[in-house]
Amino acid sequence: MNQTVNIDTILYATDLSENARFAAAYAISQANLYGAKIIFLHVLPEAPELLDRSVIGYIDEAQWQAIKQSHYQDAQEALIGKRNEHGVVREVLDQFSRNAKAELGGQETPEDEILVETGNPVEVILRVATEKSCDLIVMGTHGRGSLADAMLGSTARRVVRRSTTPVLVVRLPAQDD
């Protein structure tokens, strides 16, 4: 059986950490190899529904929504150092893409796309991969150990289990604490 693999669109899901550059190298390398477009995706997670229901028993819903919005803005500020919705995160991703490609001596590939969405990271990654007809998903994992992964279930592990698109999971180097 002789099958040819064609990769036209790669979804690179990133948490924007310093270690994410390591996984980006794989996405960019594959894009260069196949002449593929890369979709850079960052998902800002929402508070779990269970937490929403339990907190509303202590304070009213409007107060909880205000607190969540404040924390959302704080997270964005911590992430990029500014308050400015998804536009600034897109700029960070765009610059990240250009820097990573330059470091890897990347050739010109089809125009990349930058997406920043809010929601459950696993659900958003799977939805975007389907909607954009991605041929490959590339993402990193911190590989903190099998017990932690079994107990908590990493985003990468859940994407691999549920995806109908091939997934390349890159173990990220350990961070120095």
Confidence class for position 85, pLDDT limits 50, 70, 90:
very low
CATH class of domain segment(s) 9-46+87-171: alpha beta
Q: Which pLDDT value is given to residue 87?
A: 56
Quote the CA–CA distance of 98 and 8 in Å, as a whole number.
19
Note whether 106 and 32 are within 8 A (CB): yes
Measured CA angle at 94 (ends 142, 10), to 5 deg = 60
Q: Across residues 17-35, what is the average pLDDT?
A: 83
Tokens 């890897």 appear where?
A: 104
Quote the CA–CA distance of 175 and 177 in Å, as a whole number.
6
Quote the CA–CA distance of 108 and 118 in Å, as a whole number.
30
Taking 90 as the threshold, does the pLDDT of residue 1 lie above it? Answer: no
The dihedral through the CA atoms of 128, 110, 170, 82 has a sign that is: negative
**Start-to-end Cα distance in the chain:** 49
Confidence class for position 29, pLDDT limits 50, 70, 90:
confident
* Residue 150 structure tokens: 């079994």
* Residue 16 structure tokens: 């924007």
Q: What's the whole-model pTM score?
A: 0.68
Q: Across residues 56-71, what is the average pLDDT?
A: 70
